[in-house]
Amino acid sequence: MTGPAIQVENLSKTYGKGASAVQALKDASMYVQPAEVVGLLGPSGSGKTTLLQCLGAIIDPSGGRITLGGDTLFDSGWQYSDRRTLRRDRIGFIFQRPYLIPFMDATENIAILPMLQGQTNHQAYDRANELLDILDITDRAAARIEELSGGEQQRVAIARALANRPSIILADEPTAPLDSHRAMSVMQLLHEMAAESNTAIIVVTHDENIIPVFKRLYRLRDGVLHEEAGEGRPFSTGT
Ligand SMILES: Nc1ncnc2c1ncn2[C@@H]1O[C@H](COP(=O)(O)OP(=O)(O)OP(=O)(O)O)[C@@H](O)[C@H]1O
């Protein structure tokens, strides 16, 4: 193993200044190994979204260090001027709602990112078809987004997050809109995808049903991050 996919050291984030300043992250440190899926828990307002947005290079941390696959991304300042390209090429995002492009079909929604990355249409569609196959939704490839169920849409969103083979995926409550059976199958898929593509995945969740599947967890309280051992409960087969 070559070291963590992502390493965070003493990350802090303060919103605002003076009397109205909010210290949303206080010296947060964490790591995720390649192919590992970790949970990120914490009550509302504890800093989960702030941490995810710092890791996703969406907002600026106030201090600390973020290393992605050995490359320093942030060290008291961003080390990459083109953070849009950094996000597109190296980080995958899965949100609570899939945010798919409604006038494109499932395949096009997945192929668009590799095409933006500069791959040929042929390569991008090959990758999209491969992911549709792995995620077992090939039969819905040509469906418009509105014709897909919530679970199918979330599978397409997972495929899109994997399309550019990112080293890390940030998932913000990916199972929130799903019933418990679909939520568990999305979690199982995320674990399979992590193992298959050596991707590190951080899953923010409030979902009590899925918390037992994590082997390792981080919990935020008032901006302070702690590591915890999880149950690592196996997925039951045949569901
Ligand atoms: N843009 C902002 N400006 C000022 N304060 C903010 C901003 N965004 C978040 N905060 C504050 O930072 C703290 C952490 O917020 P954050 O959204 O990261 O929490 P969270 O754990 O994701 O909450 P939830 O589970 O409700 O989404 C909260 O006190 C919040 O009010």
Sketch the domain layout of the chain as residue ranges: 6-47+62-229
Taking alpha carbons only, the member of 201, 44, 180, 197 closest to residue 134 is 197
> Residues lining ligand 1, judged by CB closer than 6 Å?
15-16, 22, 24, 42, 44-50
Q: Which band of pLDDT confidence, cut at 50, 70 and 90, is reported for residue 95?
A: confident
Q: First vs last Cα of the chain: how many Å apart?
A: 32
Q: How far is the CA of 46 from the centre of ligand 1 (A)?
A: 7
Tokens of 188: 């199982």
Taking only the tens place, the pLDDT of each residue in 30-64 is: 999 999 999 999 999 999 999 999 999 999 999 99
| CA-derived radius of gyration, the chain | 18
The residue whose CA is least distant from atom 4 of ligand 1 is: 15
47/154 Cα distance (integer angstroms): 24
Residue 66 has pLDDT above 70, yes or no: yes
The residue whose CA is least distant from atom 28 of ligand 1 is: 45
Residue 189: predicted pLDDT: 86
The residue whose CA is least distant from atom 7 of ligand 1 is: 15
The residue whose CA is least distant from atom 14 of ligand 1 is: 47
Sheet-wide strand order for 71-75: 22-32, 6-15, 63-68, 71-75
Residue 6: predicted pLDDT: 97
Residue 175: predicted pLDDT: 86
Residue 142 has pLDDT above 50, yes or no: yes
Q: Are strands 200-204 and 22-32 parallel, antiparallel or unpaired?
A: unpaired
* Length of the chain counted residue by residue: 239
Average per-residue pLDDT for the chain: 92
Find out whether 173 and 204 touch, Cβ atoms under 8 Å: yes
- Residue 220 Cα: closest atom of ligand 1: 21
6-47+62-229: CATH number: 3.40.50.300
46/221 Cα distance (integer angstroms): 5
Residue 97: predicted pLDDT: 82
Q: Taking residues 68-77, report their average pLDDT.
A: 93
Residue 239 has pLDDT above 50, yes or no: no
Residue 158 has pLDDT above 70, yes or no: yes
Residue 237: predicted pLDDT: 54
Q: Which residue among 49, 170, 202 is best mutated to probe the pocket of ligand 1, counting the most ligand atoms within 8 A of its Cβ?
A: 49
